[in-house]
Amino acid sequence: MDDDTAAGRKLNRRHALECMVWAGTGVIWTLSGGVPKALSLLDEAQAAEAANSSFTFLQISDSHVGFDKEAPVTAIDTLHEAVGRIKGLSVQPSFMLHTGDITHLSKPDQFDDADQIIGSTGITTHYVPGEHDMVDAGQGKAYMERYGKDSWGQGWYAFDQNGVHFIGLVNVVNLKAGGLGNLGAEQLAWLEKDLADRSAETPIVVFAHIPLWTIYPEWGWGTEDSAQALALLKRFGSVTVLNGHIHQIVQKVEGNMTFHTARSTAFPQPEPGKAKAPGPVIVPTEQLRGMLGLTSVTYTVGQKQLALTDTTLA
Amino acid sequence: MRSLLSMLRRRLPVALLVTATLAVSAPSFAKEVTVTISNFAFSPQKTTIAKGDTVKFVNADDTVHSVVAKDGAFHSDGLDTDGSFSYTFSSAGTFDFYCGLHPFMTGEIVVN
C-alpha cells in the first residue's frame, strides 16, 4: 500500500503540469493528477481520483478584434482561423484562458464579434483584460459589464480546476505616467488573502495581460509591482505564470516558477529593442501566418526547463 | 511647425480640414496647436501655448494610443490611426500627460 502510494506520487509529480500541444495560436496545457505534490496528504480514494483528473486548457491572447492594418487579412480573419484550429483539436480543452486585448478599441461591436467567434467553440473562456479593452469612454466599463460580473475590484478573480488554483490578475488599469503595468495595493491585498490558507503543495497558475516579469521596461513590458505578487507566490511548489501583450513567445524558469508569454492571434510585434517602437509589425500577407505560428510546450513538474517546439500557421 | 503642417497635409487632409473649421469658429485670439503621436512618442514632446489655446493630439501610428493628463484633468478614449483628441487649456501652468496604453510615452504642455 505504501509502495503503491509512493509510486503513484512519484509518477504524478513527474507528470503533473505537462504542457503538451500548441493549437492554432494558443498553448495547450495538460495537467495530470491535479494535486501532484499533495497526494501524500490525501486518502487513497482521493489520490485515485486526482490521478484520473487530467485536463487540458488552452491559452489564447491578443485577438485585437478591430485591427485591420495587416490588410487584406484582418484580426477577425486570423481569429476565425485560430478558432478553426481549436475546433479541430482531437482533444478538446476543458476551458480557455484569454489573456487580454480581446478588442483593439473596446468598442461594443468588437466585443460582440470576439464573443461570437470565440463563443462558437462552445468552450468556457476565462478572460482578463488588456489595455486595449479599457479605452472606452467609461475606461473599462464596457469590459466589466461583459466579463467582470463574478470578479473582484477591477476584474480579478480565482477559480479551481481539479485541484489546480487559477488566478486571473488585472495589470492594465490606471497605468501611471512613465510606469509599467500595475496591480495596485487593493489587488495585492486580495491576492495575499486568496493565497493565505492555501497549501504550498497547491499548483498555481497565474494569468494576466502584461508580463509579470520584466522583459523590456523601455517598452513597458513588465509590471511595476509584480515583485510583491511573486513574493506571495514564492512558497508554492509549482507556479506557472501566463501572459500576453508582447505578441511573441518569451519564457524563463526561476526556481519553482515558470513564466511564459503567448503569441497574438492578430499581428506580430518586434523583438525587444529590435525596432524603434513596439508597434505592429506589418508584414507581407504570405508571411503573416508564419509569424502567428504554433509552439508546442512541454512542462513537467520537477524539471526546471520547459521543452519548446515552434511551428507556424503557414 | 512648417514641417509638421506639411506632414499633416500629406497624411491627414481630413484632420486638417476639421482643424481649419474649428479655427474659424474659435475666438480669434485662441490658437490650436497640434501634437502628433508617431512611433510611440509625442511630437513635440514639450509644447508651449497661451491660456485659452487648444491642443489637438493626432495619432499617426498604426496602433491605438490615448492621452491622459497626469493630474486627471482629461482623458481621451482610445485613438485609432488618424484619430484625434482636443483639449482647451484654460489656466496657466505645466501639464504633464502620457499615453494610457503605453505610459512610457510622456509629454508636457506649458500654458503661459
Percentage of the residues of chain B whose pLDDT score is greater than 90: 73
- A70-119: per-residue pLDDT in tens? 999 999 999 999 898 888 878 778 888 999 999 999 999 999 999 999 99
Q: Which of A16-25, A87-96, A174-183, B73-82 has the lowest mean pLDDT?
A: A16-25
> What's the Rg (C-alpha) of chain A?
19
- Determine the distance in angstroms separating the CA of A68 from the nearest CA of chain B, rounded to an integer: 9
Percentage of the residues of chain A whose pLDDT score is greater than 90: 59
The segment with the largest mean pLDDT, out of A159-163, A241-245, A296-300, is A241-245
- A274-314: per-residue pLDDT in tens? 999 999 999 999 888 877 644 433 434 444 343 444 455 55
Model pLDDT, residue A19:
32
Q: Which of A19-23, A95-99, A219-223 has the lowest mean pLDDT?
A: A19-23
φ and ψ at A260, to 5 degrees? -150, 135
The segment with the largest mean pLDDT, out of A45-49, A254-258, B16-20, B53-57, is B53-57
Mean residue pLDDT across chain B = 85
Model pLDDT, residue A87:
87
Q: Would you give the DSSP letter of residue A248?
A: S
Mean residue pLDDT across chain A = 81
Q: Does B78 touch chain A (CB under 8 A)?
A: yes
Q: Which of residues 87-106 of B touch A (CB under 8 A)?
A: 96-98, 100-104, 106
Model pLDDT, residue A86:
85
Task: Give chain B's end-to-end CA distance (angstroms, integer).
Answer: 19
Cell of B100: 494610457
Amino acid at B19: T
Residue B24: how many CB atoms within 10 A of its CB?
8
Please say whether the beta carbons of A162 and A49 come within 8 A. no
Q: How confident is the model at residue A245 (pLDDT cuts 50, 70, 90)?
A: very high
| Top-confidence residue, A263 or A21 | A263
Residue A160: how many CB atoms within 10 A of its CB?
10
Average pLDDT of the residues in A27-46 = 42
Q: How confident is the model at residue A161 (pLDDT cuts 50, 70, 90)?
A: confident
Of A137, A179, A180, the CB nearest to B77: A137
Cβ burial, residue A106 (10 Å; 0-12/13-18/19+) = buried
ipTM over 0.90: no
The whole-angstrom separation of Cα B47 and Cα B45 is: 7
The whole-angstrom separation of Cα A267 and Cα A74 is: 9
Cell of A122: 462552445
Q: Pairing relation of β-strands A239-243 and A257-261? A: parallel
Question: Which among A223, A176, A171 is positioned nearest to B71, based on CA atoms?
Answer: A176
Q: Which residues of A touch B70 (CB under 8 A)?
A: 177
Residue B44: how many CB atoms within 10 A of its CB?
16
The whole-angstrom separation of Cα B85 and Cα B58 is: 7
Q: Please state the pTM of the whole predicted model.
A: 0.81
